[in-house]
Amino acid sequence: MKKDSSTECWNNVEIEEYIMKAQNNDFRMHYIMPYTLKAIGDVKAKHILDLGCGEGGYSRALADMGAVVTAVDCSEALLTYVADRAMKEGTNIKALRRNANELTNIQNDVFDIVLCSMMLMDVKDLDGTLKEIHRVIKHNGKVFISILHPCFKPKESKWILEEDGIKVAIKDYFNPTEWTDMINGVNTPLIYRHRTLSHYIKAFNENDFILADMNEPIPTMEQLRSSLRIEWLSKIPMYLFIELKKKG
């Protein structure tokens, strides 16, 4: 497996802390995940690649909905957790340790859907990752992506809580960059990467994908009631959701 800075970073994460954080994060559980699963729709008997699967929450949800799921991540410890839990629960998930830009021993044109939930902004080799996604997805297959919104979450940004709501201050949007930072509740520093929105769109186009849809969804009333932090997203989007379709 190819090693790069992201691969090494995620293999050093304190796994129990990360799993606990992922499974209790309000943005993920009440906003990102429900929106993504609804957008994907009916998955019964469809072959799905959960790329950068992390602790496997999406893989389990999709398998429970009837999908045939392949869960891929670069972290050996996370994949061990995914595989062990799938075995205990009798869930139809195949776990493979791969770098996103080198999906070794996965055949061409085998997946109906590729899911990239909150991972594409982390990969070091975006172009190589998109090439591999294009290779393994079927004709007219779809890619569902969620990322931190490039316009509102670059490195030089601050989300400031004021009495009348949230204000976002941006110092530098145009310079792609890489940095390390902490997630609350996880004591291992993680690598973050910023790319401009136009960088993503050009990369999709250059790798023969059609931009089928792009959304900055306003939270529902139920989501607003679930978390005060999600209420921030009713004014300013922190996340961007993208749907691609394979050309040709």
What pLDDT band is residue 65 in, cutting at 50, 70 and 90? very high
pLDDT of 164 reads 80
Whether 180 is covered by a domain: the verdict is no
- pTM to 2 decimals? 0.95
For 1-22, what is the mean pLDDT? 89
pLDDT of 186 reads 82
For 216-229, what is the mean pLDDT? 95
Whether 102 is covered by a domain: the verdict is yes
Distance CA 122, CA 14 (A): 17
Average pLDDT, the chain: 94
Residue with tokens 């790069």: 4
Whether 239 is covered by a domain: the verdict is yes
In the predicted structure, residue 145 carries a pLDDT above the cut 80? yes
What pLDDT band is residue 236 in, cutting at 50, 70 and 90? very high
For 226-236, what is the mean pLDDT? 92
Who's near 38: CB < 8 A, 6+ residues apart?
Answer: none
Whether 95 is covered by a domain: the verdict is yes
Distance CA 223, CA 210 (A): 30
Side-chain-side CA neighbours of 222 within 13 Å: the count stands at 5
What pLDDT band is residue 196 in, cutting at 50, 70 and 90? very high
**Across the chain, which distance is largest between two alpha carbons, in Å?**
54
Q: Minimum mean pLDDT among 15-19, 179-183, 203-207: which range? A: 179-183
For 187-209, what is the mean pLDDT? 94
- The domain that holds 73 is classified in CATH as 3.40.50.150
pLDDT tens digits, residue range 110-134? Answer: 999 999 999 999 999 999 999 999 9
What pLDDT band is residue 3 in, cutting at 50, 70 and 90? confident
Nearest to 168 by CA among 176, 156, 160: 160
For 43-56, what is the mean pLDDT? 98
pLDDT of 245 reads 98
Distance CA 203, CA 237 (A): 22
For 19-39, b where at least 16 C-beta lie within 10 A, e where not — what string? bebbeebebbebbbbbbbbee
Nearest to 206 by CA among 147, 151, 148, 247: 247
Residue with tokens 């997203």: 233
Amino acid identity of 85? R
Q: Minimum mean pLDDT among 18-27, 53-62, 142-151, 156-165: which range? A: 156-165
In the three-class reduction of DSSP (H, G, I as helix; E, B as strand; rest coil), residue 115 is classed as strand
Whether 163 is covered by a domain: the verdict is no
pLDDT of 156 reads 87
pLDDT of 67 reads 98
Which residues are paired to 239 by β-bridges?
148
Residue 119 DSSP label: -
Whether 17 is covered by a domain: the verdict is yes
In the predicted structure, residue 162 carries a pLDDT above the cut 90? no
pLDDT of 183 reads 80
Domain interval for residue 48: 5-149+195-246
pLDDT of 194 reads 95
In the predicted structure, residue 2 carries a pLDDT above the cut 80? no
Whether 233 is covered by a domain: the verdict is yes
pLDDT of 206 reads 97
Q: How many structural domains is the chain composed of?
A: 1
For 169-175, what is the mean pLDDT? 94
pLDDT of 58 reads 98
> Which burial class, exposed, middle or buried, applies to 148 when counting CB atoms under 10 A from its CB (0-12, 13-18, 19+)?
buried
For 176-182, what is the mean pLDDT? 87
For the chain, the residue count is 248
* Six-digit token string for 20: 């606990």
